[in-house]
Amino acid sequence: MRNYLLSTAIVCSLLAGVTACSMTNAADDAVTPAIFAADGQVMIPKDWRQWVYVGTPLTPNALNDGKAPFPEFHNVYIEPTAFAHWQSTGKFANGTQIVKELVLIRQKDADEMNEDGSTGEVSGVGYFQGEFAGLELTVKDTTRYPDEPGGWAYYSFGHNSPPYADTAKAFPTEACNACHETNAADDFVFTQFYPVLRAAKP
């Protein structure tokens, strides 16, 4: 009887492991993936402003000797099913899409602008969002990009006002991955700048 119970426990344990693996794979499969054109370029997401907003970093020129590499506001959104996976596991699933929409600092007439580029508004003096100025996307896809660090690829649909391009080609590895690998807090993602992701992580 003891041998029978032990065997049963082992089988149940193995089955539980298989179920867990299946659930993990199913969770990845449940993430809405990016859509790619026949030439391999990624298609622009259609509803990114309805995705889950996670934060807006800003590094203005005035605080970076006039030469900030990213002087715009970066409104960052994650696709909702990918956010749900992050919320339940603390990991970015295969298929995760994260969008960064660039927004210029609000401009006013010269006599209303401060030397550091800030403006005075009803809430006080500061930096406020102006016009849209570009759209970028990162996708985690270890199947499509097995040689990219972490399986992440990075794209730009234009550094300009809308309308943006319909498709985009992945940047070379050295253009983005190295910085993300060295400085990002979670799996090549700068979660240290995104309070919504930090709060949602289990």
CATH code for the domain in which residue 125 is found? 3.50.70.20
Number of domains in the chain: 2
* 158 and 173 inside one domain: yes
Let me know whether 25 and 54 are in one domain. no
Q: In terms of domains, do 84 and 18 share one? A: no
Q: Quick check: 135 and 99 in contact, CB under 8 A?
A: yes
More confident residue, 104 or 18: 104
Q: Kindly report the length of the chain.
A: 202
Range of the domain at 2: 1-30
For residue 23, the model assigns a pLDDT of: 34
| Total-model pTM | 0.84
* Six token digits for residue 154: 């990075």
Burial class (CB in 10 A: 0-12, 13-18, 19+), 174: exposed
Q: Are residues 42 and 17 in the same domain?
A: no
Whether 103 and 142 map to the same domain: the answer is yes
Looking at residue 29, what is its pLDDT? 65
- Please tell me the predicted confidence (pLDDT) of residue 177: 83
Express each pLDDT in 143-191 by its tens digit.
999 999 999 999 999 999 999 999 999 999 888 988 898 999 999 999 9
Note the pLDDT tens digit of each residue in 58-73. 999 999 999 999 999 9
20 lies in the same domain as 113: no
Do 66 and 40 have their domain in common?
yes
Going by pLDDT thresholds of 50, 70 and 90, the confidence category of residue 8 is very low
- Give residue-wise pLDDT tens across range 63-103: 999 999 999 999 999 999 999 999 999 999 999 999 999 99
